[in-house]
Amino acid sequence: MFRVLITDPLSKLGIEQLLDATDVKVVQKTDLSKEELLTEIADADALIVRSQTQVTAELIQHAKKLKVIGRAGVGVDNIDIPAATAQGIIVVNAPDGNTISTAEHTFAMLISLARNIPQGYRSIVRGEWNRKAYVGVELNNKTLGILGLGRIGTELAKRARAFHMNVMAFDPYLTEDRAKKIGVQKASLDHVIAASDFITVHTPLTKETRHLIDAKAFSQMKNGVRILNCARGGIIDENALFDAIQSGKVAGAALDVFETEPPGEHPLFTLPQVIATPHLGASTREAQENVAIDVSQEILHILRDEPFKNAVNLPSIPAELQEKLRPYQILAERLGSFSIQSAEGALEEITITFSGELAEMDTAPLSRIILKGTLSHYLSDVNYVSAPYLAKERGIKVTEQKTSQSHGFTHLIHVGIRTDQGEFIVSGTLLNGLGTRIVKIDQYPVDVQPEGHLLLIHHYDRPGAIGRVGTILGDHGVNIATMQVGRKNIGGRAIMMLHVDKQVSETLLESLEALDEIHRVTAIDL
């Protein structure tokens, strides 16, 4: 009999499957003191919390039988993930439970924005009857641009199509086949920004998406565009949005999230074109029940040794295998991250090949790490366990191969990326005393340490090309730490791989790409 301890309030409907299970005993005790919690956790097989219970390292140490911790929601800030992982305890959350709720809230904000509903309400309760002041626009035949076509973006697209909107979408993992199935037009980020009447963001907040919509993006938009953010504060530059509304470029904005929450007396609230809600995307009874249902189901799967998908930490593997694979974990994740940053286009297929001594090991954990490194460049909620599920959900084919051919190395990992614009391959290894190394990029042999700020430059092997690159970097105050040059034929195509001391600007990249010898420049941060 498995003992499941629930220490935060959850709806009875949400945990019904646990209560009905014949192999589970549910113990619900909320508002426990620290001492009471330490006592209760001692013989629990599973723990379910929301945000109130702090699952500390001390608490985990007292959990002698604990196999899994479930968070009925998305955020896991109140759980000590490293401590749980060290004890071999799986931590799961419920990232899908609020999908419909957030999509519906976004659509409600979309209609309210188009028809000035909040402004009209405020006017009429003041005793006014000013119909001409609140003339709106129809959604019919308007273009909705969705930035990020994950679960929520997909649901929003379905609702927009029902209102006869033209839906365009940008997502780095969106393929043509998936776009057709959803019924949207796949487009580049710049094209979506330039062609849309309404723009809504549904990406995670990462280094790449912070201020994704900035002053430059606003300048490329249609006059009278309307902006929505029910995803994460910080994706839209709020100061730039303020300026764009005041200038008339943006006709209105609907915001559920903010860079700082609560936002306080925000300048945007002084503008009548702005409507806002206090982060209500997931605030429905159904969403709160759904996250409890989802995490309860995951708990049962784990306790019964059945497949599960929403773990946020690396599952326990045998100590002997873990010891053998540990030196390769950093290399694996960085090869995944390097490959996706280097490739162009929407990701369609990943091929992972293990060579030499690695071919004789169980490399499944390394494949998950590579996949996580690849997907996490654009997805903040990806982890070692959910990565295969998220890849499958997005139609990305993943293949693992093994070969005894080591190409002169004791062990070698190849990561091949195929996108809708071409293929890219990177190979890496561990060198005794020197650590991780990238030893081949496409057909070019190199010796690159995969860390820090890198520039990958595809160019033509002509005299003076390297000098001109160095001059431009110097003019922009960027110091070169190391440089590798790879080529196959004199005068043909070649690559430069540079380590630089700081992150480079878009202006610098544009200056490099303006050189006649340069084919493409990619900034990579590891």
3-state secondary structure 339-407: HHHHCCCCEEEEEEEEEEHHHHCCCHHHHHHHHHHHHCCCCCCCCCCHHHHHHHHCCCEEEEEEECCCC
- What is the pLDDT, as a whole number, of residue 205? 83
Parent domain of 219: 99-276
Hey, CA dihedral for 232, 238, 240, 245, is it positive or negative? positive
Q: Are residues 103 and 228 in the same domain?
A: yes
In a domain, 48, yes or no: yes
- Residue 132 region by backbone torsions, left for phi larger than 0, else alpha for psi between -120 and 50, else beta: alpha
Is residue 138 domain-shared with residue 88, that is, in the same domain? Answer: no
**Residue 310 falls inside a structural domain:** no
106 and 232, same domain (yes or no): yes
What's the residue count for the chain?
Answer: 526
Q: Please state, in angstroms and rounded to a whole number, the distance separating the CA atoms of residues 496 and 472.
A: 14
pLDDT class of 318 with cuts at 50, 70, 90 = low
**Tens digit of pLDDT for each residue in 281-316?**
988 989 989 999 999 999 999 999 887 878 888 665
In angstroms, the CA 244 to CA 324 distance is: 55
Rounded distance, CA 44 to CA 496, Å? 56
CATH number at residue 468: 3.30.1330.90
Output the pLDDT for position 316: 55
Q: How far is CA 419 from CA 82, 117, 364, in A?
A: 34, 43, 23
Residues 235 and 299 in one domain: no
Active site residue 334: no
Does 122 lie in the same domain as 76? Answer: no
Contacts of residue 265, defined as CB under 8 A and 6 or more positions apart, other chains included, come to: none
How many folded domains does the chain comprise? 3
The one catalytic residue among 232, 377, 411, 418: 232
Rg from Cα positions in the chain: 26
Same-domain status, 51 and 40: yes
What burial class does residue 163 get, using C-beta atoms within 10 Å of its C-beta: 0-12 exposed, 13-18 middle, 19+ buried? middle
CB count in 10 Å sphere of residue 500: 20
Question: Residue 73 belongs to a domain with what CATH number?
Answer: 3.40.50.720
Q: What is the pLDDT of residue 314?
A: 65
Q: How far apart are CA 254 and CA 275, in angstroms?
A: 5
pLDDT of residue 391: 86
pLDDT at 180: 93
For residue 11, the model assigns a pLDDT of 83
> What are the DSSP calls for 162-211, one per residue?
HTT-EEEEE-TT--HHHHHHHT-EE--HHHHHHH-SEEEE-----TTTTT
* 367: in domain: yes
- The residue-averaged pLDDT of 449-476 equals 92
Same domain, 332 and 478: yes
pLDDT in tens, 341-378: 999 888 999 999 999 888 888 898 899 999 999 998 88
User: Rounded to whole angstroms, how far apart are CA atoms 389 and 385?
Assistant: 8
Q: What is the pTM of this model?
A: 0.75
Catalytic residue among 151, 178, 202, 279: 279
Domain match, 334 and 189 both: no
Give the mean model confidence (pLDDT) for residues 253-262.
Answer: 94
Residue tagged active-site, from 261, 306, 344, 513: 261
Whether the pLDDT of residue 161 is over 80: the answer is: yes
Average pLDDT over residues 474-497: 89
Using CA atoms, how far apart are residues 100 and 97, in angstroms rounded to an integer? 8
Beta-sheet strands, E only, within 179-320: 185-186, 198-201, 225-229, 250-255, 274-276
pLDDT above 70 for 406: no
Q: Is the pLDDT of residue 188 over 80?
A: yes
φ/ψ of residue 337, rounded to 5: -65, -40
Q: Confirm whether 309 is domain-assigned.
A: no
Residue 159 annotated as catalytic:
no
- Listed in sequence order, the DSSP H helices in 91-132 are 99-115, 117-125
399: left (phi > 0), else alpha (psi -120 to 50), else beta? beta
| pLDDT tens digits, 261-282 | 899 999 999 999 999 999 999 8
Instruction: Decide if pLDDT at 75 tops 80.
Output: no
Is 362 in the same domain as 239?
Answer: no
Residue 311 lies in a domain: no
Q: Are residues 106 and 70 part of one domain?
A: no
Is the residue at 464 inside a domain? yes
pLDDT, tens only, 203-224: 988 888 999 999 999 999 999 9
Helix 364-375 vs helix 386-393: angle between axes, to the nearest 10 degrees? 60
Asked if the structure places residue 34 within a domain, the reply is: yes
Q: Is residue 423, in this structure, part of any structural domain at all?
A: yes
Q: Within this chain, do residues 78 and 116 fall inside the same structural domain, yes or no? A: no
232 an active-site residue?
yes
Q: Which residue has the higher pLDDT, 406 or 304?
A: 304
Residue 97: which of 115, 74, 64 has the closest Cα? 74
Helix axes 99-115, 151-162, angle to 10 degrees: 40
Same domain membership, residue 55 and residue 144: no
Strand order in the sheet with 46-49: 24-28, 2-6, 46-49, 68-71, 90-92
